[in-house]
Structure 1
Amino acid sequence: MCGILGIYNLNGAPCSPAVLKRMTISQQHRGPDDSGIRMFSLTHQTSCEMSPKKTEKKKNGSFEGGLGFNRLSILDLSSDGHQPMCNHDGSIFIAFNGEIYNAFDYQKELSAAGYTFRSKTDTEVVLYLYEHIGFEAMLDRLNGMFAICIVDLNKREIFLARDHFGIKPLYWVKQGNTVLFSSEVKSFLEHPDFRAELDRSHVDEYLTFRYCADEDFLLKNVKQLQPGYFLRISSNGITKKQYWEIGTKNYDISLDETAILNKLDQLLGESVERQLISDVKLGCQLSGGIDSSLVTAYARRNFGADLETFSIVFQDNEFSEDKWISQAAAKCNVHSHRYMMGVSDIITSFDKATWHLDQPLNLPNSLGIYLLAEKSKDIVTVLLSGEGADELFGGYSRYYDVALRSRFTPLLPGLQLIPGLGGRLARKFNTSLSPEDAFILASATLSFDDLKKLRPEMDWNKTLGKRQNLLGRFDSGRIIKQCLKYDMQTYMVDLLVRQDKMTMAHSMENRVPFLDRKLVDFVYSLPVDYLVGDSLQFKNGYSKNTKKILKKLAEQTFDNNFAYRTKCGFPLPLEEFFKTQYFTDYMEQCILPGIKNRGVFQETTVRNWWTQLKMSGQKNGRKIWIAVAFEIWAQIFLDTSNNSYRGL
């Protein structure tokens, strides 16, 4: 796990090593073990390494591009893993962030082709694999998480790619004739041509769904490189291409449930085993949910020494999963570290976590991941987590709702005549919405009325239209598969960015075994009935009809009660935080005046929600959080007077 960044001037103007150095330093938390800067010219087909302690220009004016790199050493801790890493004649070099779990499967093939390895890193394998078979063929072989930059002086081209699922972040911006790219947006702030300005055309989407999907971002001109895409950059310009999409490979779907469970057990076990490779200490993030608990169980089976797990708990049982953490830890026979999180932790980490996230702290529990990484970094450097399972297997209630809607909406006219049942069904299924729109809006944070109060000028049709187009892009024949694919390319990507940024804030690597390519291909090929059911149950229906096959596996590993309990979701005590004197002063002196002056949201609406919470105990915490998180981010990234945050 590392950080990469770069500059390329399309018009041939010289690239400043001093600017590149500042950009590299800005994300040093991603790789404190080593750093490297390499200047290059596609025009002249030359490059040279710059000392990180020097910024003077060599061959003044001859380099129109440069790469910066921060290294967190995970495999081969020696200096042989230094990056940017060159091939043997220096004509091709790479900056690589991530882990390729099948990299060493290709070492024998490459050695037979004449490549000599100088290190024991996956980076060198990727570099030679590109040289051997080309960029797209190389990407097709990789199973792992990555953001890659390869500069090929022979072809006079730069390649940028993001992994298949978006586990590793990668941003880019074209500012005039200058192209910038980086693992974190904050490094762009160090370039003199970049201006951090709010892109108001994306505010409505953020407000509705708490994040911007696809390539969009809240800052003007900044784009996220989508999962499964790559860029090709040269003096002729920039082209983007999709190299992979979910659901293009299929297994034998004629298997019965027992065979499917056995295959799932095999693939998940193999994925976890692959992801245990590390030359530094490794542990598991254990939330107490079935996803992280299964990862922990499989890791323990393959882990030679004592396995350690790390968890956040709360004093209030309403928020804490301590009971389930204890059960999972005991069953897996692991050493469990638990850290109590309270209001004081929210106070001390809100601003810092926002700085590291590069975007508003849209999900309050991001602070829990931030604290977990901060506390566990002195014990381990790598954490395995259960991220991705809900989107892959269908774990959210909205999947169950859309399955029920698809089944029962045509029957509603007749069912509504049944006393008692008809009214409940009518309330549950608003027939004015299509199943697709109902699914999209199920993940909206605020009601339509609250959205209009907070932002009266909101363009609802445009916001919904973008999401309708995205969902339509993922048409898979069955609406549940379509919805799963949509979430894996939108909501899950934002969660993965959050997981990456909150752990990398403390120089820790997070791995996600559920997003192994072989496992994803297998699960996506299963009949939808193994993932999400449509059985109408008014009691515990959601738990019994979501993530069905994975819960069967969890039931085998743990027990029925563990597998089918109500999902908690890692909430934080927001109302308690908002009532503190610290937040009261902060709200009055900083947040509300900032909201009013910025004019993006209605200050009176936010003030009314906050007053209602304080005076009557109305649970407005989620509404208030959205506005507050946005304003804190805006003050850090948009207001030039807040340059002090660059040292966080």
Structure 2
Amino acid sequence: MCGFAGFFLFDDPPGREAALRLVRTMARTLAHRGPDEEGVFAEEDGHFALGFRRLAVIDPSPAGSQPMVSACGRFVLAFNGEIYDHAELRAELAAAGHVFRGHSDTEALLETLARHGPEEGLARASGMFALALWDRRERRLVLARDRFGKKPLYSARLGDALVFASELRALLRHPLLRPARDPEALALYLRFGYVPGPRTILDGVRRLEPGHLLVAEADGSFRLHRWFDLVAEVRRARAEPLDPRSGEATEALHALLLDATRRRLVADVPVGLFLSGGIDSSLVAACAAGAGAELPAFTIAFAHAAHDESAHAARVAKALGLCHHVRPCGERELLELVADLPEVFDEPFADASALPTLLLCRFARGRVVVALSGDGGDELFGGYTRYADTLRLHRRLRYLPRRVRRLAAGTLSLLDTDLLRALGERLPALARLKPDERARKLREVLGASPEWLMRAIVSHHHDPRALYRLGREPEDPRWAGELGGIVPDLPAWLQLLDQLQWLPDDILVKVDRTSMSCGLEVRSPLLDERIVLLSWRLAPDAGGTPGAKEPLRRVLFRLLPAELFARPKQGFSPPVHTWLRGPLRDLCEELFAPASLREAGPFDPARVRRLWREHLEGWVDRRFELWNLLCYVLWYRRWCRAARAPEEMAA
């Protein structure tokens, strides 16, 4: 696992030495991703340069160093990630007569790309990756990301240059890039708590989407191409349904889980695993033990019993014979990490679960360089309660004609306070809200389509323009029913939405940044592409139960006693609502001061003060809105304060 940065100049190259100086400066901002080694490459006239920071995991010798030049001398590769089928790729190339210099997965990938071309070569590779492939003969650059977006890659067209990097911080070291914010991206952030791709918070900077490659030619032309189409693959998988309750399905999933885990155990450095005691991490741990691996397991023990799963994790570790390392964690330790968030995430990010994830990664890094995780289980097998919540709401509302629902939504604002209070008593989820908030929520529910119901459930700020008038949310066809023709049943539709947005832009960003901030590589067996596609053959309309993760349970109960998991899904979300009223109150008072809000947004100070007052007085739980703003203002102060964005100047 590593990081890279580079640029491709279409005119007026600066010469090799100047190019090397600049690309080395960019790459050194990524030293946390690759603490073991630095490498640079530049063409003689400096029109192309590539810098690399290495975390040596497979073949730590100089034979695995990057940027790596192909045996034929035509191609140069910088690659961040791991190729799990590199042994198979190597065997195929060796059978064709290729002689390898070392045993790194980088060399196997590079020679596969050189032999088969970018698209076919990527299709043969199983793994997590972002890469830059430079064709010296054709003066052509190919940037590519893996199928599901496990590894990041950003790019920007700056005049006659294309610059690219693993993180935004490296792009910011290029003299042509200034941190001007994208108002539409900020509006999206306010809604979701992260910026959905391909946008980024910086104007003109784009995140290459999962399964895509970008080809840049010497004449300055570009071609964006989807080399892996998840939606098309889902359509094909669902054409061959498999009953998830059948022995055939359980056997197939079990075999894939074992093989995916076995592949991810290959490393020339110490490997461990995260263990929460839940279904996903326990299944990965059991598969690793089944493959004969004796791995250390790492768990965080939280002070509050309601959030602590360490006792469950200990029972799983004992059953599997794992060496179990537990890190006690008090509230104060998590609070101290809040100040680190804008450094770890160089783009606004408001998923509070990043705090315990960061603590866990730092704990594990003290003993291992690679850790296996259970990420992906909820998204693939319906583990989130929001799927069932949305389905239940939709089923209740669909008996009302759409015209009646729209009419009811339009007249709610005319109802008096007593009637709204009565409605709240009949709908407990609304009982805590003030009357005007209650009316707004009811209007959203009555007037919403299924995908918009879930959008309302996952939103932080339900009306970003009321807070930030400079940004209007762009339309996204995925949230407007586009996927309905592909997966017409609602639970699967919602899961596909999550796999296209929530998974790559929140979950995998969180895992990548928290782990790589301390030089730890995290591998996710459940996100093996073969398991992802099998999960769609086992979709809910084929007999599954939304939210039950039944196929995973059936495999798990082959490996561990079922009584270890006879409890509701727990998870951990930091008590942000109490922090805001307590230990974070002084910080919030500073960040939410009118002058601070006008500078960072500009945001409407009166609206923010209202949200803040309602939360402090206990009228409404505003944790999501306020944590979202807190993370954004902290990010702004770290990355943008020195350069005022153009929209601020206009305002």
What is the aligned counterpart of 2:206 among 195, 206, 223?
A: 223
2:515 alignment partner in structure 1: 503
- Kindly state the Cα deviation for residue 107 of structure 1 after the two structures are TM-superposed: 1.5
**What is the rounded CA distance, in whole Å, between the counterparts of 2:26 and 2:350 in structure 1?**
25
What is the aligned counterpart of 2:34 among 31, 34, 56?
A: 31
Q: Is 2:458 the counterpart of 1:443?
A: yes
Q: Is the 8 A contact 1:145 1:167 kept in 2?
A: yes
Q: Which amino acid aligns with 1:381?
A: V
Q: Which amino acid aligns with 2:116?
A: I
- Kindly state the Cα deviation for residue 234 of structure 1 after the two structures are TM-superposed: 1.5
2:524 alignment partner in structure 1: 512
Q: Is the 8 A contact 1:440 1:467 kept in 2?
A: no
2:13 alignment partner in structure 1: 13
- Kindly state the Cα deviation for residue 601 of structure 1 after the two structures are TM-superposed: 2.4
- Kindly state the Cα deviation for residue 424 of structure 1 after the two structures are TM-superposed: 7.4
- Kindly state the Cα deviation for residue 519 of structure 1 after the two structures are TM-superposed: 1.1
Q: Is the 8 A contact 2:468 2:601 kept in 1?
A: no
- SS of alignment partner, residue 29 of structure 1: coil
- Kindly state the Cα deviation for residue 197 of structure 1 after the two structures are TM-superposed: 1.1
Q: Which amino acid aligns with 2:105?
A: D
Q: Is 2:131 the counterpart of 1:148?
A: yes
Q: Which amino acid aligns with 1:476?
A: V
Change beyond 3 A, Cα 1:16–1:452: closer
Structure 1 runs not aligned, ≥5 long: 41-58, 414-422, 535-544, 643-648
Q: Is 2:224 the counterpart of 1:240?
A: yes
Q: Is the 8 A contact 1:343 1:576 kept in 2?
A: no
Bigger CA drift: 519-528 or 614-623?
Answer: 614-623
- Kindly state the Cα deviation for residue 561 of structure 1 after the two structures are TM-superposed: 5.4
Change beyond 3 A, Cα 1:124–1:166: same
What is the aligned counterpart of 2:317 among 329, 344, 350?
A: 329
Q: Is the 8 A contact 2:143 2:215 kept in 1?
A: yes
Bigger CA drift: 75-84 or 256-265?
Answer: 256-265
Q: Is the 8 A contact 1:95 1:149 kept in 2?
A: yes
Aligned length in residues: 599
**What is the rounded CA distance, in whole Å, between the counterparts of 2:173 and 2:504 in structure 1?**
26
Q: Is 2:448 the counterpart of 1:433?
A: yes
- Kindly state the Cα deviation for residue 35 of structure 1 after the two structures are TM-superposed: 0.9
| Percent of aligned positions that are identical | 28
TM, length-normalised to structure 1: 0.86
- SS of alignment partner, residue 338 of structure 1: strand
Change beyond 3 A, Cα 1:617–1:327: farther
**What is the rounded CA distance, in whole Å, between the counterparts of 1:113 and 1:174 in structure 2?**
39
Change beyond 3 A, Cα 1:641–1:319: farther
For residues 569-622 of structure 1, what are the alpha-carbon distances to aligned partners after superposition, in whole Å with 9 as ceiling and x for unaligned? 3211224433455x3443344553422433432333434444454455964333
- SS of alignment partner, residue 88 of structure 1: coil
For residues 511-569 of structure 1, what are the alpha-carbon distances to aligned partners after superposition, in whole Å with 9 as ceiling and x for unaligned? 011111111121112242467537xxxxxxxxxx4323223333444455554633223
Q: Is 2:473 the counterpart of 1:486?
A: no
Counterparts in 2 of 1:252-401, with a 5 A limit? Answer: 253-254=241-242, 257-305=246-294, 307-401=295-389
Bigger CA drift: 320-329 or 155-164?
Answer: 320-329
Change beyond 3 A, Cα 1:579–1:242: same
Bigger CA drift: 13-22 or 283-292?
Answer: 13-22
**What is the rounded CA distance, in whole Å, between the counterparts of 2:25 and 2:37 in structure 1?**
15
**What is the rounded CA distance, in whole Å, between the counterparts of 2:585 and 2:399 in structure 1?**
51
Q: Is the 8 A contact 2:128 2:146 kept in 1?
A: yes
Q: Is 2:51 the counterpart of 1:68?
A: yes
- SS of alignment partner, residue 587 of structure 1: helix
- Kindly state the Cα deviation for residue 330 of structure 1 after the two structures are TM-superposed: 2.4
Q: Is the 8 A contact 2:451 2:480 kept in 1?
A: no
- Kindly state the Cα deviation for residue 486 of structure 1 after the two structures are TM-superposed: 1.8
**What is the rounded CA distance, in whole Å, between the counterparts of 1:556 and 1:35 in structure 2?**
46
Change beyond 3 A, Cα 1:628–1:65: same
Change beyond 3 A, Cα 1:390–1:88: same
**What is the rounded CA distance, in whole Å, between the counterparts of 1:147 and 1:123 in structure 2?**
12
- SS of alignment partner, residue 490 of structure 1: helix
Q: Is the 8 A contact 2:57 2:268 kept in 1?
A: yes
1:109 alignment partner in structure 2: 92
Q: Which amino acid aligns with 1:9?
A: L
**What is the rounded CA distance, in whole Å, between the counterparts of 2:65 and 2:554 in structure 1?**
45
- SS of alignment partner, residue 172 of structure 2: helix
**What is the rounded CA distance, in whole Å, between the counterparts of 2:74 and 2:310 in structure 1?**
54
For residues 219-238 of structure 1, what are the alpha-carbon distances to aligned partners after superposition, in whole Å with 9 as ceiling and x for unaligned? 11111100000011111222
TM, length-normalised to structure 2: 0.85
**What is the rounded CA distance, in whole Å, between the counterparts of 2:207 and 2:487 in structure 1?**
25
Q: Is 2:170 the counterpart of 1:184?
A: no
Change beyond 3 A, Cα 1:532–1:595: farther
**What is the rounded CA distance, in whole Å, between the counterparts of 2:542 and 2:361 in structure 1?**
34
Structure 2 runs not aligned, ≥5 long: 402-425, 431-441, 645-651
**What is the rounded CA distance, in whole Å, between the counterparts of 1:434 and 1:21 in structure 2?**
50
Q: Is 2:598 the counterpart of 1:586?
A: no
- Kindly state the Cα deviation for residue 76 of structure 1 after the two structures are TM-superposed: 0.8
Q: Is the 8 A contact 1:30 1:505 kept in 2?
A: yes
Bigger CA drift: 281-290 or 629-638?
Answer: 281-290
**What is the rounded CA distance, in whole Å, between the counterparts of 2:452 and 2:31 in structure 1?**
42
- Kindly state the Cα deviation for residue 431 of structure 1 after the two structures are TM-superposed: 4.7
- Kindly state the Cα deviation for residue 341 of structure 1 after the two structures are TM-superposed: 2.6
Q: Is 2:604 the counterpart of 1:629?
A: no
1:47 alignment partner in structure 2: none
For residues 383-433 of structure 1, what are the alpha-carbon distances to aligned partners after superposition, in whole Å with 9 as ceiling and x for unaligned? 1111111111111122223444565655569xxxxxxxxx87999994532
1:551 alignment partner in structure 2: 553
Change beyond 3 A, Cα 1:342–1:591: farther
- Kindly state the Cα deviation for residue 346 of structure 1 after the two structures are TM-superposed: 3.4
1:568 alignment partner in structure 2: 570
Counterparts in 2 of 1:151-166, with a 5 A limit? Answer: 151-166=134-149
Bigger CA drift: 603-612 or 153-162?
Answer: 603-612
Q: Is the 8 A contact 1:85 1:124 kept in 2?
A: yes
Change beyond 3 A, Cα 1:457–1:125: closer
